[in-house]
Amino acid sequence: MPEQAATHDDAALLIARTRSLAPGRVVCWALPDGPIAAAEARRRVTEQLSAWHLDELSMTTELLVSELVGNVVRHAKGPPRLRLLYGRTLICEVTDGSLTTQRIRRAAETDEGGRGLQLVAALSDRWGMRYTATGKCIWTEQALPAPSRPAVT
């Protein structure tokens, strides 16, 4: 047996292919710090998705950003930032200045809150959190609508 095969090294090789998006496919906004932030986020999302001809995703994306920005206003340090990335999917990111980990909790029937991340998980194809140099980022991913096909006559 060769000496190299007998080693017990835990080394791994990671290969990643990165793709950059055209500048018109990424938008980012600083949102006001306070209750008006969620309304501002919804307005920005609706306008941008319309510009990208993704109106079909507006209602769901509005709900997602409303929940994520609302969580920042209620539980984290702001001001929040919102970023949309339009690539093979639609990615929505909300960042804040807090290092508190968000997690899904099971709200009781009588609780008035605590269901936001359950809603985020139900409405998005994938979601997650990552730490940044200044806080954290909660992201969601949604599939793009199927291209419309002309009617067959």
pLDDT at 108: 57
**Per-residue DSSP letter, 78:** S
Domains of the chain: residue spans and CATH: 25-143 (3.30.565.10)
pLDDT at 78: 72
**What φ, ψ does residue 65 adopt, rounded to 5°?**
-70, -30
Q: How far apart are CA 105 and CA 6, in angstroms?
A: 47
pLDDT at 119: 86
For helices 58-75 and 36-51, give the axis angle rounded to 10 degrees.
150
pLDDT at 123: 93
**Full-model pTM:** 0.78
Mean pLDDT by 10 residues, the chain (153 residues): 62 71 92 92 98 97 94 84 96 91 60 68 94 93 81 58
Tokens of 54: 């993704």
Buried b (16+ CB within 10 A) or exposed e, 82-120: bebbbeeebbbbbbbbbeeebeeeeeeeeeeeeebbeeb
pLDDT at 35: 86
Q: Are 78 and 59 in contact (CB under 8 A)?
A: no
Tokens of 20: 């950059």
pLDDT at 8: 66
